[in-house]
Amino acid sequence: KKLKVLGVAGSLRKGSYNKALLRAALEESPEDVELEVFDLEGIPPYNQDLDNDMPAKVKEFKSKIKAADAILIATPEYNYSVPGVLKNAIDWASRPPGDNSWDDKPVAIMSASIGMLAGARAQYHLRQTFVYINMHPVNRPEIMVPFAADKVDANGRVTDEKTRRKIKELLESLASWTRRLKR
Ligand code: FNR
């Protein structure tokens, strides 16, 4: 049976390099993986008053997460941390108490940056959050794409072969990690 993986980008912009990583992941998916990408556009700022009356888009997000065997996140680093857009979506889906959609899910992270450190700091902040929401991150390979502007063309395609190969490896690693956890 194919593994269902839900891809989420931590950037809303059309020309996002991180969205480009997810598009490359769609193209490089191994046979046994069915990847679907969810766009965070339209998820409002988190408000605890709505925990028992969540917006439709959040409900949809939560049910997609629950239906997935594993999660793939591609995120930029904003000011040395996780972009608010992504953290906000993580917070919504972790609620209400007793209905944390992320619970027990395997997850893999990628990050792309125009800079040299390639989002490494955001990745480690994200891993800290995974502890509380009880997600199980893949450790290797670590995919941090520096100088992303040189590796994505005008159509938003990742042209760098080494990056594409790494993405494929990450998906293979996520798939075998997920099957291991399911045993
Ligand atoms: C950035 N950028 C950035 N890059 C980085 O490597 N470390 C950082 O801390 C930050 N901080 C930061 C803050 C804010 C508010 C913005 C808008 C940008 C640059 C970032 O790498 C670049 O904008 C990427 O193109 C963002 O990813 P997407 O949108 O292309 O996926």
CA 52 to ligand 1 center in whole angstroms: 34
**How is residue 25 written in tokens?**
């992941």
Give the distance (Å) from ligand 1 centre to CA of residue 1.
Answer: 38
**Per-residue pLDDT tens over the stretch 134-168:** 999 999 999 999 999 999 999 999 999 999 999 99
CA–CA separation, 72 vs 45, rounded Å? 22
Whole-number Å distance between alpha carbons of 18 and 82: 13
Question: What gap in Å lies between CA 87 and CA 146, rounded to an integer?
Answer: 22
At 183, the pLDDT band (50, 70, 90 cuts) reads confident
Distance 114 CA to ligand 1 centre (A): 7
* pLDDT tens by residue, 66-120: 999 999 999 999 999 999 999 999 999 999 999 999 999 999 999 999 999 999 9
Contact predicate 120/144, CB 8 Å: yes
At 99 the three-state DSSP class reads: coil
Does residue 76 line the site of ligand 1, with CB under 6 A?
Answer: yes
> So what's the pLDDT on residue 10?
98
In the chain, the domains with their CATH numbers are 3-182 (3.40.50.360)
Flag whether the ipTM exceeds 0.85: yes
Q: For a pocket test of ligand 1, which of 39, 75, 113 has the largest count of ligand atoms closer than 8 A to its C-beta? A: 113
Task: For residue 75, give the ligand 1 atom closest to its CA.
Answer: 31
139 lines ligand 1 (CB under 6 A): no
What is the distance of C-alpha 12 from the center of its chain?
A: 13
